[in-house]
Structure 1
Amino acid sequence: MNLKGLDIYFELESKDVLVDFLLSKGYDDFYFFPCSRYSAGALLINAQEQVSARREYGLFRLFLHADAAQTLADDIKSSLKNKSIKIFVRECEEL
């Protein structure tokens, strides 16, 4: 079975929008991890972020067949293009 791990990183404020999007597309088995993005001051919005050099992000991780992973990534990019979302895919194998 050719599985892909799809990691979707997003600004935490977009979490509910992404959950609704995933559920509406029939994806109901995924994982959520809170995380932080560390970056240059120009990418940070408020004073707290600029002092700490980090912004609160989230990560959804899904395990899908290769074609489904590409389709979902394309759907997210086209439907939610006004959101700050980064998508990464990698090979994986269930043990």
Structure 2
Amino acid sequence: MIEISIYFKSNYKDVIVDTLLSEGFDNFYFFECKKYSSRLLKSTKEMVTGRVDFAKFELFVKNENKDRIINKLYSMISKNELSIYVRDLHEV
């Protein structure tokens, strides 16, 4: 089993949800989070708070499905806009 963590700016949430569901991934988790980085601050709100609204999806997939969903997300949303981390989970 593979754990995939996808970090992104909050405005991509609906696109990612639609993509996951249309690709048959219907069991995943969503978390709101903040990214702290002075390089990313664009809006007045971000400059005042020092953070950017980000979000994270976590999903668990079979190894053979990992590349398919990652490549699909990267083809729809630039690699510069997504941070995807993969962890191989060994069942005990």
TM-score normalised by the chain length of structure 2 = 0.88
What aligned pairs does 1:1-95 form with structure 2 within 5 A after superposition?
3-40=1-38, 42-81=39-78, 84-94=81-91
Gap runs ≥5 in structure 2: none
Letter in structure 1 aligned against 2:72: D
Q: CA, structure 1 residues 82+69, in 2 after alignment: closer, same or farther (shift >3 Å)?
A: closer
Q: Give aligned pairs, total.
A: 92
Q: Percent identity?
A: 36
Query: What is the CA–CA distance in structure 2 between the aligned matches of 1:69 and 1:44, rounded to whole Å?
Result: 32
Query: 1:67, CA displacement in angstroms?
Result: 2.2
Query: 1:79, CA displacement in angstroms?
Result: 2.1
Query: 1:81, CA displacement in angstroms?
Result: 2.2
Q: CA, structure 1 residues 82+66, in 2 after alignment: closer, same or farther (shift >3 Å)?
A: closer
Query: What is the CA–CA distance in structure 2 between the aligned matches of 1:17 and 1:24, rounded to whole Å?
Result: 11
